[in-house]
């Protein structure tokens, strides 16, 4: 039970302004887990549900609130208005600062060039998605309205197609979703970072999405890959087609797309003009990287590089030196700069209030279900209105039989409130019909008016019958959606911007020789002498030869294709392959690791980790009683780097390094002889290599962690004596029984 400190009596009463607040002035001891649940979890859920993750209509709440506000302002057909005016009105739905709302508008605008089909028609400087330094103008200088395609977002919104909820202060209503008539969730790029999850949706061509959606409506088992080959980015570029990655994206919603810049060679000026770049980089980043490479001496083929972007669009100009092959230079730039980059896809979408990662096919099937419900609700709304209209017209038709009688009833009724009742009695109509007739102006009580308004009765009956038939036959609803998709595709569809490249002639790379996977025995001594011995040679050998004062520290029965991580005493790790070492015999000292790997002067070997796939974790035990658990994958690199700095923490001297594939028990011994039985599962893994770790063993002043060893089953008579439920712990001194057993083992 949490303890509460007593409030100071001197501050209770009229002098204390917080005295009337329950619990004010009290200090409550609370577990950190409870604090996270009470304070952080609601925030995390709010970010996931109401901010960062898009829903099936393709919009985040901020997008939806902005666009709906502009729609209610009449900006779908009206003239542009100042952006500041739009931002101010949007704050009625979105209680965030004006800067955040304006940033949202900018990213939806045509001028920013971030979307294949922008929703905001902008005028003024709205910046550029491909430029890091080109900032947009303030909202008071720019103007905006809705693009025509927004008619597909709001076409049925007033026909009860989606649910409405109160805004944050209950002063007005706003839609929970927009009844989009095309799968906008896959047509425009959408990225967001929530708490513990993220979303990154790449854009696809509108024509292709509409076509494949139509096919899925006809056959839910249709192969989406027949039509959709790759995404389509507004910035163009070349997409290097990878069938395996595209399969993952289409079916699983996760994968990556390689995009490279497009260029043209200007022979007359001997320069390269880069006009399209990957969506994940900027012109400034590319130029800065090229300048860095030029200063480093690795890019001597160019004489100048500059940004010549203007109103016509992006343009990075690279001046070449005489005799330079532009195609070979671009291949080099693809490898060394972000002119070739990957767009990582993570199709995380809120479906029914739950975040789900879906592939293209499953996402479209969810959209079809959503749109089907919207269409059914629209037809039901129109059916209800038509029935109401028919009912009124049928009452009006009865008046046609005797207009004079209707006038006489009204004229001879003494009280106004009895007019409706008398009309109901006189013509056999109900109250709604009678009320409608009673409200007709005197000038309209003529045969021409009544005939004109009753001639549509038969048409209304046919329309009602048709709508009822649609609601009872799902295939007719599907045909309506297919027809709408076809109309959207014809009206707003565009040609692909990104070129799909199936075969790319890359610069020939020197492939690394194939490494054999033959069995080997590896040995390393305490001072860092490494041996690789074949099983046959080991069987014929005697004792392992080592230097005086040295001893074999570890050995492994493994294969020749494993990777080796050699940790030094200077917080560095040196990476090598077992194949890098020559085969030797037990009668030799082996190869000295610091010399073989070129360790720094004064740097010494500490320990070794052997791995094939970088699975498991590395445990670092420090003298201060802390233990760091680092994912071994953190030491894996895409490039062939041989040396990594900050391999572990320097906050306390290192006692031991252990590589484990699964959690297990260790025995920690302090300098005063206390033993602690510790399971590595009690420490959470980190990806930061130089993490300080978690306090495991409590040490008093002057004490330190002395040794670490693997726990041997049966080592202690009563293991629970040395194990604790909570960390950190002091451990326990050995019992007499265990002390005797330890002496035997030693």
The band of 21, judged by pLDDT with boundaries at 50, 70 and 90, is low
> Is residue 136 within 8 Å of residue 127, measured between CB atoms?
yes
* pLDDT of 507 above 80: no
Read off the tokens for 601: 């002067």
CATH number 2.120.10.90 given to 519-745 = yes
* CATH number of the structural domain 369-475: 1.10.268.10
Concatenated DSSP letters for 526-567?
TT-EEEEE-HHHHHT--SPP--TT--EEEEEEEETT-EEEEE
Read off the tokens for 692: 């300080």
Class (C level, CATH) for 262-338: alpha beta
Residue 512 pLDDT: 43
E-state strands within 25-184 = 81-82, 120-123, 143-146, 164-166, 173-175
Residue 20 pLDDT: 58
Mean pLDDT score of the chain: 88
Q: Which of 81-85, 146-150, 421-425, 658-662 is predicted with the least confidence, judged by mean pLDDT?
A: 421-425
Cα–Cα distance measured from residue 655 to residue 566, given in angstroms and rounded to the nearest whole number: 16
Residue 142 pLDDT: 96
Residue 504 pLDDT: 53
Residue 648 pLDDT: 94
The band of 300, judged by pLDDT with boundaries at 50, 70 and 90, is confident
Q: Which of 44-48, 94-98, 488-492, 630-634 is predicted with the least confidence, judged by mean pLDDT?
A: 44-48
Cis amide leading into 104 (omega within 30): no
> Is residue 562 within 8 Å of residue 577, measured between CB atoms?
yes
Residue 741 pLDDT: 67
Residue 265 pLDDT: 93
Residue 697: its H or E element = none
The band of 22, judged by pLDDT with boundaries at 50, 70 and 90, is low
Residue boundaries of the structural domains of the chain: 1-30, 59-179, 262-338, 369-475, 519-745
The band of 739, judged by pLDDT with boundaries at 50, 70 and 90, is confident
* pLDDT of 99 above 80: yes
The band of 655, judged by pLDDT with boundaries at 50, 70 and 90, is very high
Range 523-546 average pLDDT: 89
Range 245-266 average pLDDT: 93
Is this model's pTM higher than 0.75 or not? no
CATH superfamily of 59-179: Topoisomerase II, domain 5 (3.90.199.10)
- pLDDT tens-place string over residues 352-386: 889 999 999 999 999 999 999 999 999 999 999 99
Top-confidence range, 192-206, 321-335, 366-380, 625-639? 366-380
Residue 458 pLDDT: 85
Positions annotated as catalytic residues are 141
Burial string for 352-367 (b: 16+ CB within 10 Å, else e) reads eeebebbbbbbbbbbb
Residue 343 pLDDT: 94
Q: How many CA atoms lie within 13 A of 123 on its CB side?
A: 11
The band of 693, judged by pLDDT with boundaries at 50, 70 and 90, is very high
- pLDDT tens-place string over residues 397-416: 887 778 788 888 888 888 88
- pLDDT tens-place string over residues 430-484: 889 888 888 888 777 777 777 777 778 888 999 999 999 999 999 999 999 999 9
Helix (H, G, I), strand (E, B) or coil at 165: strand
């Amino acid at each position: 039970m949490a303890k509460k400190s007593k409030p100071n009596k001197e501050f209770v009463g009229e002098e204390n302004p917080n005295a009337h607040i329950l619990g004010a002035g009290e200090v409550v001891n609370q577990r950190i887990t409870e604090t996270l649940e009470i304070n952080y979890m609601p925030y995390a859920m709010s970010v996931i549900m109401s901010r960062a993750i898009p829903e099936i209509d393709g919009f985040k709440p901020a997008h939806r609130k902005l666009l709906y506000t502009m729609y209610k302002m009449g900006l779908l057909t009206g003239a542009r208005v100042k952006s500041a005016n739009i931002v101010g009105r949007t704050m009625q739905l979105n209680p965030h600062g004006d800067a955040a709302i304006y940033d949202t508008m900018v990213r939806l605008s045509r001028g920013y060039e971030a979307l294949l089909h922008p929703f905001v028609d902008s005028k003024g400087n709205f910046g550029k998605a491909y430029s890091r330094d080109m900032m947009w103008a303030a909202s008071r200088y720019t103007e905006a309205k809705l693009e025509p395609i927004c008619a597909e977002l709001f076409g049925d919104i007033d026909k009860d197609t989606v649910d409405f909820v109160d805004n944050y202060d209950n002063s007005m209503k706003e839609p929970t979703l927009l009844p989009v008539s095309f799968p906008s969730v896959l047509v425009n790029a959408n990225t967001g970072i929530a708490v513990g999850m993220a979303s990154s949706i790449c854009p696809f061509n509108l024509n292709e999405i509409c076509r494949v959606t139509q096919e899925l409506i006809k056959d839910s088992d249709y192969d989406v890959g027949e039509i959709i080959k790759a995404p389509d980015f507004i910035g163009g570029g070349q997409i290097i087609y990878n069938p395996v990655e595209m399969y993952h994206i289409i079916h699983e919603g996760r994968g990556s797309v390689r995009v490279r810049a497009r260029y043209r060679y200007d022979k007359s000026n001997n320069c390269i003009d880069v006009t399209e770049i990957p969506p994940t980089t900027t012109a400034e980043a590319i130029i800065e990287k090229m300048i860095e490479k030029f200063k480093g001496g690795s890019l001597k083929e160019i004489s100048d590089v500059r940004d010549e972007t203007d109103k016509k669009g992006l343009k990075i100009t690279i001046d070449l030196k005489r005799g330079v092959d532009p195609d070979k230079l671009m291949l080099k730039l693809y490898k060394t700069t972000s002119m070739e980059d990957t767009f990582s896809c993570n199709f995380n979408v809120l479906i029914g209030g739950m975040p789900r990662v879906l592939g293209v096919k499953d996402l479209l099937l969810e959209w079809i279900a959503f749109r089907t419900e919207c269409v059914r609700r629209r037809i039901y709304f129109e059916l209800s209105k038509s029935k109401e209209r028919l009912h009124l017209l049928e009452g009006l038709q009865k008046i046609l039989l005797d207009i004079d009688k209707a006038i006489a009833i009204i004229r001879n009724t003494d009280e106004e409130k009895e007019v409706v009742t008398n009309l109901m009695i006189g013509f056999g109509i109900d109250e709604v019909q009678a009320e409608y007739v009673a409200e007709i102006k005197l000038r309209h009580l003529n045969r021409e008016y009544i005939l004109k308004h009753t001639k549509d009765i038969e048409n209304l009956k046919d329309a009602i019958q048709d709508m009822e038939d649609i609601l009872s036959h799902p295939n007719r609803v599907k045909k309506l959606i297919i027809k709408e998709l076809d109309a959207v595709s014809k009206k707003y569809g565009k040609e692909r911007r990104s070129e799909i490249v199936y075969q790319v002639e890359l610069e020939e790379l020197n492939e690394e020789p194939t490494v054999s996977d033959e069995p080997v025995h590896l040995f390393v001594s305490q001072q860092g002498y490494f041996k690789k011995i074949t099983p046959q040679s080991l069987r014929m050998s005697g004792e392992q030869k080592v230097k005086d004062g040295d001893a074999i520290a570890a050995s492994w029965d493994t294969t020749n294709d494993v990777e080796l991580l050699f940790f030094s005493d200077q917080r560095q790790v040196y990476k090598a392959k077992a194949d890098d070492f020559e085969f030797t015999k037990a009668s030799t000292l082996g190869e000295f690791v610091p010399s073989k790997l070129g360790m720094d002067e004064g740097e010494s070997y500490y320990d070794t980790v052997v791995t094939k796939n970088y699975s498991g974790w590395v445990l670092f035990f420090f003298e201060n009683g802390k233990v760091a658990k680092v994912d071994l994958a953190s030491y894996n690199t895409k490039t062939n780097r041989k040396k990594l700095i900050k391999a572990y923490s320097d906050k306390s001297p290192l006692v031991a390094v252990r590589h484990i594939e699964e959690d297990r028990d260790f025995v920690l011994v302090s300098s005063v002889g206390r033993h602690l039985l510790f399971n590595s599962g009690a420490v959470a893994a980190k990806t930061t290599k130089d993490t300080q770790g978690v306090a495991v063993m409590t040490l008093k002043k002057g004490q330190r962690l002395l040794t670490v060893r693997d726990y041997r089953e049966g080592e202690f008579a009563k293991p629970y004596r040395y194990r604790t439920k909570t960390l950190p712990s002091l451990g326990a001194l050995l019992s007499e029984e265990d002390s005797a057993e330890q002496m035997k083992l030693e």
